Amino acid sequence: MMRFASTFRFASPLRDAVTSTRFDDRPPICDYEGSAYQSEFWEKGEREYEDGAEAIALKRLVPRRGELLLEVGAGAGRNTSRYAGFERIVLLDYSHTQLRQAQARLGWSGRYLFVAADVYRLPFVAGLFDAATMIRVIHHLAAVPSALAQIRAVLRPHATFVLEFANKQNLKAIGRWLLRRQAWNPFDVQPVEFAALNFDFHPALMRQWVRDADFTIRDQLAVSYFRLGLLKRLVPLGWLIGLDARAQWTGRLFPLSPSVFVRAQAPGGGKVAPPGKFFRCTACGCDDLKDNGDHLECPECGRRWAVRDRIYDFKEPL
């Protein structure tokens, strides 16, 4: 079961939502500890179409090659093998359960590093990664600007960031609103929290947030237009994915799909992590953690971060 640390609502229009830091101190977390999300939602949920459409979007947006990629909210590693051109991949997730499932799926390989941490407190030195992805995660985030700032900080100059978000301005929501079967207005820029810690976002607000985090938007794809039970039953899977592949380009003009993928780029200037530096203490920021085998120790504040079952754990110190 997913648990919610607390609830949160965006209460302000576009500009206020962009600048507000009121809720950023301790944003609530949608906790997937103990969740069977991968098997229940993907494997038993008949979502081969959505998965195939996302695979195509990722192929189009993620760089073909690279050194070090950060997968934020990696879950059970459903997408990790799609980043095959990267030498090393860091799978970060708040949930140990999800990371253990990812380990079972991906096996042991020096290419993968598993990190339990909160996207609002990333345990990496600045300028470390040459790419990052965050797929199907931001809809759980109540403080989007804080999360984007954290991701931006750990990226190198010119790094690519691929982000997926749930689009409130989608055809189904527009239809339901016009027929008065849905109270919230899909054209309103405010996020809608349709269930606790589940947000749909307006593309204009998301683009604004991404730019405010000092990214340049390079591309945008509209994904999963045909997410309807009847269509999925009637139309062969390959056709539906092929149609989606053709329709994805509409995202560049006016995305009306339930899912939107954005490729953003970090600016040219900025920090590059010094050789040999990797983790930082999330409590005090020290980037000189001492590796003691079963834990990392911070020489500045004395906090100790566990390394258990090949998972670096930065959720709480020992």
Ligand X SMILES: C[S@@+](CC[C@H](N)C(=O)[O-])C[C@H]1O[C@@H](n2cnc3c(N)ncnc32)[C@H](O)[C@@H]1O
Catalog residues that contact ligand X under the rule CB under 6 A: 29-30, 32, 37, 73-75, 78-79, 93-95, 98, 118-120, 135-137, 140
- The nearer residue to ligand X, 81 or 292, going by C-beta atoms, is 81
| Dihedral sign for Cα atoms in the order 304, 308, 312, 313 | negative
**Which residue's Cβ lies closest to ligand X?**
75
CB of residue 10 to ligand X, shortest distance in Å: 17
- The nearer residue to ligand X, 290 or 310, going by C-beta atoms, is 310
CB of residue 310 to ligand X, shortest distance in Å: 17
The residues near 304 (Cβ < 8 Å, ≥ 6 apart) are: 292, 295, 296, 297, 298, 317, 318
CB of residue 27 to ligand X, shortest distance in Å: 7
CB of residue 125 to ligand X, shortest distance in Å: 18
CB of residue 33 to ligand X, shortest distance in Å: 8
- The nearer residue to ligand X, 42 or 278, going by C-beta atoms, is 42
* Three-state secondary structure readout of the chain: CCEECCCCCCCCCHHHHHHCCCCCCCCCCEECCCCCHHHHHHHCCCCHHHHHHHHHHHHHHCCCCEEEEEEECCCCCCCHHHHCCEEEEEEEECCHHHHHHHHHHHCCCCCEEEEECCCCCCCECCCCEEEEEECCCHHHCCCHHHHHHHHHHCEEEEEEEEEEEEECCCHHHHHHHHCCCCCCCCCCCCCEEEECCEEEECHHHHHHHHHHCCCEEEEEEEECCCCCHHHHHHCCHHHHHHHHHHHHHHHHCCCCCCEEEEEEECCCCCCCCCCCCCECCCCCCCCCCEECCCEEECCCCCCEEEEECCEEECCCCC
- The nearer residue to ligand X, 47 or 270, going by C-beta atoms, is 47
- The nearer residue to ligand X, 142 or 273, going by C-beta atoms, is 142
CB of residue 183 to ligand X, shortest distance in Å: 25
- The nearer residue to ligand X, 162 or 192, going by C-beta atoms, is 162
- The nearer residue to ligand X, 101 or 169, going by C-beta atoms, is 101
User: What residues does 90 pair with on adjacent strands?
Assistant: 70, 113
- The nearer residue to ligand X, 68 or 197, going by C-beta atoms, is 197
CB of residue 47 to ligand X, shortest distance in Å: 10
CB of residue 18 to ligand X, shortest distance in Å: 20
